[in-house]
Amino acid sequence: MGRLFGTDGVRGLANRDITAELALDLSVAAARVLAEEGEFAGHRPTAVVGRDPRASGEFLAAATVAGLASAGVDVFDAGVLPTPAIAFLTAASGADLGAMLSASHNAMPDNGIKFFSRGGHKLPDATEDAIEQHLRGEWTRPTGAVVGRIKPYDEGAQRYIAHLLGAIPHRLEGLHVVLDCAHGAASEVAPEAFRQAGAQVTVIGAEPDGLNINDGYGSTHLERLREAVPAAGADFGLAFDGDADRCLAVDGTGAEVDGDQIMAILAIDLHERGELAGDTLVATVMSNEGLLRAMQREGIDVRRTDVGDRYVLEEMRRSGFSLGGEQSGHVIMLEHGTTGDGVLTGLMLAARVASTGKSMTDLAACMTRLPQCLVNVPGVDKHAVDAHPVVQSAVSDEQAQLAGLGRVLLRKSGTEPVVRVMVEAPTAEHARQVADRLAQVVARELALAPA
């Protein structure tokens, strides 16, 4: 059996992989491990629990709350809120841990659970491993007055919005913004935050019914936002994913502004204000080469990490950097949060538009993307990709043929059973040809045996 925790918590098909029993057991194990590590020493422990609007989140959150309370933890149930809101509230309330029920950008049938330690930080691998080891183990259950109590955290949303508004350096009066909330966790707080910041707001994808999260809306489906922005005559649009830890944008014409461009805009903004720690941006190996070239022109260094916002965050915390993120729209601003925050990212982006008077189109032009192609190869042994001689030989051959004018990257997904083939080349057609050739090699050489 492989490791239960992936790069972003535990995730899978709700009520089959991610069951109520598993959520309860994980919560009990998390409480026990943190207690043994001394996190609860000398006081009665507390936790903040939230979820996105998925139907399965209702019973999974109930199981998580029950598990924590049964382990002697007092629980503040925040209901439906973005993942970064739960991280913030865990820190702001002084809670000992937080728990979020969400599968982020995944389709509705999936769900997941992630934990935050005191301060709103994601758990290190060693703690997650210890939690797995404690699953369904023997333990002495608290009784009587020592069992945890459960209270609603009704003020959580407004406390989070106030935090967001306190972070932006400029009001948004005069801006018209379209927000696509993916029928997800940002459906109420994002429009409210932008309105309180002074923007005129048009909202799409903000009618969650438990079944429609990420369904044709949000950061993985920009088509409707591309249409809605020009139709509304808005200045630009922002799209969040299901748990609102990601943000992508479109300009006034409906053209996409991806995570690399967003990071470039924000890095330049912070750099000009003298607030970019170390004059360095932290990005993953998936970020476009055009981002590196743009930052070099601005006198900003780029530190690259493995794929995954947790690795970006680890590098930021280790080296004292303040801005990092991923091409997918995860952007971390450590001065204001401990994790990627899509709503905060969108507000900061809007504040840059408002303060400069420039259009989103003009701001995004600070970098030119090298044509990039990404192909996902399913049905393969993703764990063998890094060491397979035929696959690696094919990668070396293609990289040599690009002769410094592009690059090739193969990596296994941390959340899905696929190998991702990424190619950058001088033209989109060239990138596609190289990616298709490599995808064929991966599919042939790493094919799983029939069940």
Report CA-CA distances (Å) from 173 to 89, 105, 170, 350, 372.
Answer: 28, 31, 9, 10, 36
Q: Helices in 6-51 by DSSP H: which ranges? A: 20-36
Query: According to the model, what pLDDT value does residue 12 have?
Result: 95
Query: According to the model, what pLDDT value does residue 415 have?
Result: 66
Q: What whole-number distance in Å separates Cα of residue 263 and Cα of residue 106?
A: 23
Mean of pLDDT values over 241-266: 97
DSSP string, 255-284: -EE-HHHHHHHHHHHHHHTT-SGGGEEEEE
Query: According to the model, what pLDDT value does residue 8 have?
Result: 79
Mean of pLDDT values over 292-299: 95
Burial of 145 (0-12, 13-18, 19+ CB in 10 A): exposed
Q: Is 279 annotated as a binding residue?
A: no
pLDDT-derived band at 1, boundaries 50, 70, 90: very low
pLDDT-derived band at 136, boundaries 50, 70, 90: confident
Q: What whole-number distance in Å separates Cα of residue 60 and Cα of residue 45?
A: 21
137: three-class secondary structure by DSSP: coil
Give the pTM. Answer: 0.90
Q: Is 243 annotated as a binding residue?
A: yes
Q: What whole-number distance in Å separates Cα of residue 10 and Cα of residue 65?
A: 17
Percent of the chain whose pLDDT exceeds 90: 86
CATH 3.30.310.50 positions along the chain are: 372-445
- How do residues 62-76 score in pLDDT, each as one tens digit? 999 999 999 999 999
Q: Is 397 annotated as a binding residue?
A: no
Q: What whole-number distance in Å separates Cα of residue 111 and Cα of residue 4?
A: 14
Of 172, 141, 366, the residue nearest 269 (C-alpha): 366
pLDDT-derived band at 448, boundaries 50, 70, 90: confident
- How do residues 353-378 score in pLDDT, each as one tens digit? 999 999 999 999 999 999 989 999 99
Contacts of 33 (CB under 8 A, 6+ apart): 127, 130, 131, 134
Of 114, 133, 92, 126, the residue nearest 18 (C-alpha): 114
Q: HSE on the CB side for 338, CA within 13 Å? A: 19
CATH 3.40.120.10 positions along the chain are: 10-154, 159-364
pLDDT-derived band at 211, boundaries 50, 70, 90: very high
CA dihedral 94, 340, 362, 305 (to 10 degrees): 130
CA dihedral 206, 209, 210, 212 (to 10 degrees): -60
pLDDT-derived band at 417, boundaries 50, 70, 90: confident
Q: Is 362 annotated as a binding residue?
A: no
CB 99, CB 46: distance < 8 Å: no
Strands (E), 315-436: 323-325, 331-333, 372-378, 407-412, 418-424
Class of domain 372-445: alpha beta
The pairing of strands 150-152 and 372-378 is unpaired
DSSP bridge partners of 47: 75, 97
The pairing of strands 97-101 and 110-117 is antiparallel
Cα-to-chain-centroid distance, residue 43: 32
pLDDT-derived band at 276, boundaries 50, 70, 90: very high
- How do residues 300-359 score in pLDDT, each as one tens digit? 999 999 888 888 999 999 999 999 999 999 999 999 999 999 999 999 999 999 999 999
Residue 4 DSSP symbol: S
Q: What is the mean pLDDT of the chain?
A: 94
Residue type, position 298, single letter: E
Contacts of 278 (CB under 8 A, 6+ apart): 301, 319, 320, 321, 322
Helices (runs of H) and strands (runs of E) counted in the chain: 14, 19
Active site residues: 104
CATH topology of domain 10-154: Alpha-D-Glucose-1,6-Bisphosphate; Chain A, domain 3 (3.40.120)
The mean-pLDDT minimum among 44-53, 68-77, 227-236, 384-393 falls in: 384-393
Query: According to the model, what pLDDT value does residue 451 have?
Result: 59
Q: Helices in 177-257 by DSSP H: which ranges? A: 189-196, 223-232
The pairing of strands 372-378 and 200-204 is unpaired
CATH topology of domain 159-364: Alpha-D-Glucose-1,6-Bisphosphate; Chain A, domain 3 (3.40.120)
